[in-house]
Each structure stands twice: as C-alpha cells, then as structure tokens.
Amino acid sequence: MPSNLELLPLKDLTTEYCRLRGLTIDQNTSRASNRRWDFVIQNGGDKEGIGITIKDWRRAVGVDIIIRAEQLMKASRFVSKVLLVSNHFSDPARSLAEKIGIFLLTKNDLIEIISTSNSPQEEPWKDHSDNHENIVL
C-alpha cells in the first residue's frame, strides 16, 4: 500500500481492508449488481454475505441511505449484514445504524486500520466501528 493512504479512493481502501482481514470478495457479480451493492464479501463458509455500499460523497451520509441499505439487505437472499463506508455520517444516521445493526466505517477509520495493520493489536476494527460492535466477518 502507498504511504499516502489519504489519496486512495474509498473503494480501494475498502478492498484493502477486506484483504487485510482475510475476507473474500464474492466474484459472483449478480449478487452485487442485482441488489445495488458495491460488492459482497463472503461470510466465512456461509452462503450469506455482507453487502458493502460505498458512498464517496463530500456531504455526510444521512438516514435515507441507512434505511435504503436496510431495505436492500432484507430483500436480498445473499446478504445478512451491511457495511456502509463513507467520508462522513450524520449523527442521526449513526444512531439509526447502531439501532438496526448496520456497520459504519469512515475513510479515516479505514486509513487508521490499514496503517496500524502491522501492529500487534488483534482486532483493530473494534475501536473504529461507529456503532462499536465487532464486525464478525
């Protein structure tokens, strides 16, 4: 990874996060495209996956995107969890995501996780999720 992580697009940072965590991006594009996920990662040996949506916006992601992600998850037979990645989240969006179990990571979270991936900390993502839950991937 380049030393200047801030210059990388969110999609590249998210892909690197998945790689560092040993997660496999599902290459079955129909799973992602049919439900408008940026990509789906496999949830271990399960057939269900985790839908990842990336919003590389200047403005904060709001409640409407959280609601839409929850609806997509419920409508998908392939996705059992959701991870939203963005530059910023509004406070109401963070609250709603925590309430319904959608995981949030910001660009700063990803940069910190990736840059400290060589540290001895066993589960670096735990301290960074906006809703402070362990993302069991």
In order of their start, the domains of the chain are 5-127 (3.40.1350.10)
Q: Is 9 exposed, middle or buried (CB count within 10 Å of its CB: 0-12, 13-18, 19+)?
A: exposed
26-33: long-range pairs with CB below 8 Å, 24+: 26/78, 31/76, 31/78, 31/79
**Residue 125: what pLDDT?**
42
**Identity of residue 85:** V
CA distance 130 to 133: 8
pLDDT along the chain (137 residues), means of 10: 76 90 70 68 72 93 96 86 95 97 95 77 46 44
**Residue 46: what pLDDT?**
60
Residue 72 contacts residue 35 (beta carbons within 8 Å):
yes
**Residue 136: what pLDDT?**
44
Phi, psi of 105 (to 5 degrees): -135, 135
Beta bridge partners of 105: 85
**Residue 5: what pLDDT?**
84
Beta bridge partners of 89: 61
**Residue 79: what pLDDT?**
84
70-83 burial, b for 16+ CB within 10 Å, e for fewer?
bebbeebebbebbb
CA distance 92 to 44: 31
**Residue 25: what pLDDT?**
81
CA distance 51 to 72: 9
